[in-house]
Structure 1
Amino acid sequence: MAVSSKHPASAPPTAPLREKTSHLMLRAWCTFLLFMTVSGTAWVHAFGEVVAAVVTISGGVLSVILWIVLRPAVQWRRLPWFVVGYLAWATLSLLWTAWIGATAVTLLLLWITTLQAMFVGSVLTWREVTRSLASALKWVMALSLVFELWVAVVVGEPVLPGFATTDEQVDPIVFWSRANLLDGGRIQGIMGNSNLLAPVALLAIIVFAIRLALRAPYRATLIGWIALSAYLFSRAGSATAVICAIAVAVVLATVLLMRTAKGPGARTKYYVGYAVIGVGGAVTFWLLRGAIFTALGREADLTGREGIWSLVLERAAQHPIVGWGFSTPWVTNDPAFDQWIVDHGESVMQAHNMWLDVYLQLGAIGLVLIILTYLAFIWRSWFFAVDRPRWDLRADRPYSPIALLPTLLGALLLVQGIAESSPLLLWGWALLVLFAFKIKQSPHIGEGPAEQSLAIERGEPTKQAA
């Protein structure tokens, strides 16, 4: 006869595993940092330079404190050393800079951006980084649409920074929003610049598509976010961003093709073929740039950029080895930049080419360092994307869609850097550092001390790396 027992053989039921509140708050903080980086100039336009500076510096201090308290697993010998070298050389330029105030201010921004990027990469796993970046981009896309809709419907006229309006005749370049959402013109989003909105929208499409490939929840909503980002990308009307999108598509197709190769030798023919296509395409584009940019609604000289490049090269040639001193972006209230190069009545804040910008500021030495930084990043991110994940004898592990993100970002930044200096600051620099750091710290998604995802998501301490 069965006997009731107070001591059952099975284990008592337990609550399902949940993330600790502390880790949820940490991930929310990282999402805010990424949002602040991606939204960029929106903070200055909305709240002014003082408030934006206070928020930026305070965020940097808080992240440093959290890094010291949390002590995440970091292999300090595996830092992105070319990034460190570029940062050190930019800092060293304080000794000879011709614009000490501009150098000090922009160096602080560079240091904060670099530290924030490494902080996010050290406390979040690959999946969490992608998830937080997607959340930040959703906020930027949504706020850009809401802002443009508010200006067009409620205000009904262009808006200046600080939510102000004016009856005076001013150049459209100074407006935060030109109220173009409903009349078919180019929109600028919360960043206040179409050439800043378009590449961010392209980045959003990439990240949302990767989340979709990861089979993230709310797939229908993700498709909606991709559609919104594509709409903003189209309405921004940036010729440079269109070329970036073509480059990203080509790189994506190449990576997927390389993944089908049965061995390293089978990839050789693909490399040769794409090298020929790449070089031929670049030469053709340069020779036919006038017709191409005319078709895209732009001037043959890249809307005046060739004139800017000529002036930058002329000044850079005076200090070709060490440069004039770091200043990214150019601080236009400094006498060295004020009224030096003027476009639409406003002093220009960049060289509109990241390589020329670095050459002007940090000379040939700085140019070599930034080239090595990008070469190292492109090299690592490329094989991170095309090589099947392997750390033992097993050679059939599936590819992760996340592995595509760094190499697609690299393609976007390289093409954008031809006509813009944006890759040297804000989200361009932050994501370059973040992924360069993350690839070296966690070369295998989900494996290694920095990828103990279950422990990290529970908020448990991880074993410190040697």
Structure 2
Amino acid sequence: MSTGGGAHAAGLIRLLQSADFARAFTLAALGTGFASLLIGRTAGSVTLVTIVIALDVVGAAILFARRDELTLLRFAPTSLLAFLAWTLASTFWSFDRASTLRGWFELLAWGLLAIVIAHVRDTLQTVRALGDVMRWMLAISLGVEILSGILLDIPFPFLGVAGDIAFGGPIQGIFGTRNMLGFVAVMALITFTIEWLSQSISLRLSIFSLTLAALLAVLSASPTVLVIAVAVGAATLALALVRRSAPEHRRTTHTAIGAVVATVLIVCWFLRHLIIRLLDAASDFSIRADLWNEILDWVRPRPVQGWGWHGPWLRGDDASAPYPLNVINFTLDDRHASALNSFFDVLIQVGWGGLLLFGGMSVVAVVRSWLVAGERRSIVHAWTPLMLVALLVDSMFESFTLTGLGWMMLVVCAVRAGQSRSWRERIRDLAEGAPGGHGSGSSQDPLSGAR
């Protein structure tokens, strides 16, 4: 029996180490992230939590089986771990410790799924898995909207679907709000474009995928879609310029791009009222401005530590926000489920200390991935910085990057960027006498061997 048990254990380890199992796990985790609202609204939040916990257990088993492939230097960025530690520490000064612990475990659960994906799949494999999941989710969203708005001509309130596709939108799909659908559509456009340029899928499938994503982006009628699309387009042009420049001129090119970005941001700030009118988003911005001003008033009593991490302000239709988020909603006579801005959300919940950690994690990830994409020839390396640009620009208008799918995608990109270019590896290489090198100087992603 001991021999048989050993054989079963060895077989289980081989299964957990296999490429097919890694792909299946990645598809399941990404599918759960994109379908989280659909699962929660149809099967209940307990079902969603159970699925995520089960995936975390499987993911932890995969990491244990692959422990010989992992190193502490590349496991997770220091900034990510510091942010998780700070949000956990906020339990001690939170007025609702149960809500804080629940919000923190949600961060940890989705973050662990992202870390596993980043370690068992290289960049191209991640893009392919993400593309497969997005095609299905966008197709289902379009099908639900056609069923609601054309075939049955009735709304689906439990999904937040208004059934307005026959009038040209706005539509929500299976993502609850038009802004979330628009954000997912932009992420899909980035992913489908990388798939097409890397020739990892057929031209016919590429055309279908890009058309589907573009159609849903337009039908979402989200005012943030245009802003994100312009930002990603500008980042794409800048990255193409960096990739085409000679290595000895890249520092100058980066400096010029940084100066242009700073100038554009300053101009946009002075022309913000005109831009808001052009986007026909005056009412949306007015709501956000009132909310952000109220948040700043509440930050003053606790500027460094904030009021405790909670993640989403509301959990369920009948739930009330924890203190002082409930007071903010009462003052504004509204039921905001977030600060409608990831950075303001971090600021009110974990103060300037948490905001510096979150901002530092984001900036470091962008810089690392940008430098790697500029140096390496494969176009697939452009996916990480472009996805980060989309995530961070969207963070200016929504708090998607702090929960569920948005947080998972942010952590995937941050871990991927840390694997490709780590300051800790540079220190190690210098200590070992490796002049000027860093741990990822090869043209391939770490852990990108046959799986």
1:189-243 alpha-carbon deviations (Å, 9 max, x no partner): 1011001010110010110110111112322112111100000001111111211
Q: Deviations over 1:5-39 (max 9, x none)?
A: xxxxxxxxxxxxxx999532431221120122233
1:34 — aligned with what?
30
What's the counterpart of residue 128 of structure 1?
A: 125
Preserved CA contact (<8 Å) 2:122 2:446: no
Distance 2:394 2:362 in 1: 13
State how 1:415-434 maps to structure 2 within 5 Å.
415-434=393-412
Task: Kindly provide the amino acid, as one letter, of the partner of residue 392 in structure 2.
Answer: L
The 3 A distance-change label for structure 1 pair 401 and 72 is farther
Verify: 1:325 aligned to 2:308, yes or no: yes
Between the aligned partners of 2:44 and 2:151, the Cα distance in structure 1 is 23
3-state SS, counterpart of residue 165 of structure 2: coil
Q: 2:16–2:62: 8 Å Cα contact kept in structure 1?
A: no
Pair 1:412–1:349, CA change in 2 (3 A): same
Matched with 1:374 is 362
The reply to whether residue 385 of structure 1 matches residue 373 of structure 2 is: yes
Partner Cα distance (2:257, 2:330) in 1: 40
Inter-CA distance 177–375: structure 2 relative to 1 (3 Å threshold)? same
Residue 42 of structure 2 corresponds to residue 46 of structure 1:
yes
Structure 1 unaligned residues grouped into runs of 5+: 1-18, 162-174, 389-398, 457-466
Q: Distance in 2 between matches of 1:447 and 1:22?
A: 20
Contact 1:75 1:441 in 2 (8 A): no
Supply the distance in 1 between the matched residues of 2:418 and 2:285 (Cα, whole angstroms).
37
Q: What displacement does 1:129 show? A: 1.1
Per mean C-alpha deviation after superposition, the further-off stretch among 212-221 and 341-350 is: 341-350
Larger Rg: 1
Secondary structure, in 3 states, of the residue corresponding to 1:418? coil
Q: What are the within-5 Å matches in structure 2 for residues 294-373 of structure 1?
A: 294-299=277-282, 302-331=285-314, 332-336=319-323, 337-338=325-326, 340-341=328-329, 347-373=335-361
RMSD after superposition: 2.4
Residue 439 of structure 1 corresponds to which residue in structure 2? 417
Question: Take 1:266 and 1:372, find their aligned partners in 2: how far apart are those partners?
Answer: 23
How far does residue 386 in structure 1 lie from its aligned partner after superposition?
A: 0.6
Query: 1:280-317 CA distances to partner (integer Å, 9 max, x unpaired)?
Result: 32222222222222222211661510000011111121
Q: What letter matches 2:96 in structure 1? A: W
Which residue of 1 is the match for residue 423 of structure 2? none
Q: Per-residue CA shift, 1:312-341, capped at 9, x if unaligned?
A: 111121211111100111135345244632
- In 1, are the aligned partners of 2:369 and 2:417 still within 8 Å (CA)? yes
**Mapped partners of 2:235, 2:355: distance in 1:** 25
Aligned to 1:285: 268
> 2: CA distance between counterparts of 1:340 and 1:66?
43
Out of 184, 190, 193, which is 1:206 matched to?
190
Distance 2:407 2:192 in 1: 21
Query: Does 411-420 or 186-195 show the bigger shift?
Result: 411-420
Alpha-carbon distance in 2 for matches of 1:433, 1:344? 33
Matches within 5 A, 1:407-422: 407-422=385-400
* RCO comparison, higher one (Cα < 8 Å, 6+): 1
Secondary structure (helix, strand or coil) at the match of 1:191 reads: coil
> Counterparts of 1:23 and 1:83 in 2: how far apart (Å)?
27
1:216 to 190, 196, 200: 200
CA deviation vs aligned residue, 1:79-128 (integer Å, no higher than 9, x gap): 31100100111111111112222212111110011111111111122221
2:71 to 64, 75, 78: 75
SS at match of 2:40: helix
Distance 1:135 1:448 in 2: 21
Structural mapping, 1:155-170, within 5 Å: 155-161=152-158
Deviates more, 1:38-47 or 1:73-82: 38-47
Q: Distance in 1 between matches of 2:222 and 2:333?
A: 21
Q: Could you say which structure has the higher helix fraction?
A: 2
Question: What amino acid is the match of 1:178?
Answer: A
Q: Relative to 1, partners in 2 of residues 1:141 and 1:444: Cα closer, same or farther, differing over 3 Å?
A: farther
* Corresponding position of 1:66: 62
Matched, 1:114 2:111: yes
TM-score (structure 1 length as normaliser):
0.83
Residue 424 of structure 2: aligned partner: none
Conserved in 2, the CA contact under 8 Å of 1:141 and 1:228? Answer: yes
CA distance in 1, matches of 2:54, 2:407: 20
Task: Supply the distance in 1 between the matched residues of 2:131 and 2:261 (Cα, whole angstroms).
Answer: 31
Partner of 1:90: 87
1:380-432 CA distance string (max 9 Å, x none): 011011113xxxxxxxxxx1111101110121122111111112222322122
In structure 2, stretches of 5+ residues that fail to align are 1-14, 421-439
Offset of residue 265 of structure 1:
3.5
Deviation string 1:44-94 (CA, Å, 9 cap, x unpaired) is 222222222222222222222232234361121233110010011111111
